[in-house]
Chain A
């Protein structure tokens, strides 16, 4: 099981992802700098969180044009598994691999705390290790996590059950409805229509190591690994 973790200039969760995947779970990780043009042979790609290119212009807008992104886009179009976390989600939207956009939080504040999420669809590559409707707790840390899309796309996302994670709380002074950033329909994570690309604002990689707290994020990486194992078993038959 080999994951690629891409490092853009300004990524700051790449090491957390590598620790979760390699240190905690024992998978192989290829850490790939954004200037490279090839992913090599990998089973899944992670675009980590951070502030690629200082969030200049728009969050994720410039990383979308990094040399490695042609390979990531081609990998996704061939059905490869791509997970974008936080800034990675913003990059996937800018690259057109996921619909919609992530704009400034409703509160205009950087939000950094734990949130509860409902797993809305456990029949995806990324969520098979969770129960349908399960509540999990993950940290968030972002300024631009307010998911926005046009009404037609929104209704497609809902009908096709592509909203994978939804914020359910906590209710706070800056989020009386339990929605930390104002995302439409309290969306925290979505998949593309083929189901092989997930973008999410919360940080599962920061909730994987029992030595430093919660482990609710493990399920995402375990789900991906299991689907890769299952795919290779099908191919071997």
Chain B
């Protein structure tokens, strides 16, 4: 089963890459862009007995390794 994990900075945590991209977009003339946040997108193929099981496993490994709870949050998406 394919599981997608999206890791983003917590609100309030400075994202210097996002800020730099934001500035570049504004320089290009996109004045309507309010904010840019850059995160991580991770695809995981795993064996699971059900969608709930896949979701539970993905959440467990995200919590343990893929996201650092001090600075990041994650969400799990199933196909």
Residue B28 interfacial (CB < 8 Å)? no
A103 touches B66 (CB 8 A): no
Interface status of B70 (Cβ within 8 A of chain A): yes
Cross-chain contact B16 with A108 (CB below 8 angstroms):
yes
Report whether B13 and A148 are in contact in the complex, using a CB–CB cutoff of 8 Å: yes
Q: Which residues of B contact A146 (CB under 8 A)?
A: 14
Distance in angstroms from A171 CB to nearest chain B CB is 20
Binary CB contact string for chain B from 1 to 34 against chain A (1 if under 8 A, 0 otherwise): 0000000000001101100100000000000000
Q: How many A residues have CB within 8 A of the partner chain?
A: 21
Chain A CB within 8 A of B71 CB? yes
CB proximity to A under 8 Å, residues B25-64: 40
Asked, given contacts A103-B14, A148-B70, whether A108 binds B20 with beta carbons under 8 Å apart, the answer is yes
Name the prevailing secondary structure of the A interface residues: loop
Q: Would you call B16 and A148 a contact (CB within 8 A)?
A: no
Q: Using a Cβ–Cβ cut-off of 8 Å, how many residues does chain B contribute to the interface with A? A: 11
Query: Which residues in A have some Cβ–Cβ distance to B below 8 Å?
Result: 57-58, 61-62, 65, 93-94, 99-101, 103-108, 146, 148-150, 182
When C-beta atoms are compared, the residue in chain B nearest to A99 turns out to be B70
Q: Across the interface, do A149 and B70 meet the contact criterion of CB distance under 8 Å?
A: yes
Which B residues fall within an 8 A CB radius of A? Answer: 13-14, 16-17, 20, 40, 65-66, 68, 70-71
Contacts of B20 in A (CB 8 A): 108
Number of A-B contacts (CB under 8 A): 35
Closest residue to B12 on the A side, CB-wise?
A: A150
User: Closest residue to A150 on the B side, CB-wise?
Assistant: B70
Residue on B nearest A65 in the bound complex, by CB: B65
Inter-chain contacts of B68 with A (CB < 8 A): 58, 61, 94, 101
B13 x A108 contact (CB < 8 A):
no
Contacts A101-B70, A103-B13, A148-B14 aside, 15 further interface pairs with beta carbons under 8 A come to A57-B65, A61-B65, A62-B65, A93-B70, A100-B70, A101-B68, A101-B71, A104-B17, A105-B16, A106-B14, A108-B16, A146-B14, A149-B70, A150-B70, A182-B14
Chain B's closest residue to A64 (CB) is B65
Bound-state CA distance A107–B13 (Å) is 15
Q: How far is the CA of A62 from the CA of B64 in the complex (A)?
A: 11
Decide if A148 touches B71 in the complex (CB within 8 Å): yes
| Closest Cβ–Cβ distance, residue B14 to chain A (whole Å) | 7
Q: Which residues of A contact B14 (CB under 8 A)?
A: 103, 106, 146, 148, 182
Whole-angstrom distance between the Cβ of B44 and the nearest chain A Cβ:
13
Closest chain-B Cβ to A36's Cβ sits at a distance in Å of: 21
What residue in chain A is nearest B67 (Cβ atoms)? A58
- B70 proximity list for chain A (CB < 8 A): 93, 99-101, 148-150
When distances are taken between beta carbons in the complex, the residues of chain B under 8 Å from A108 are 16-17, 20
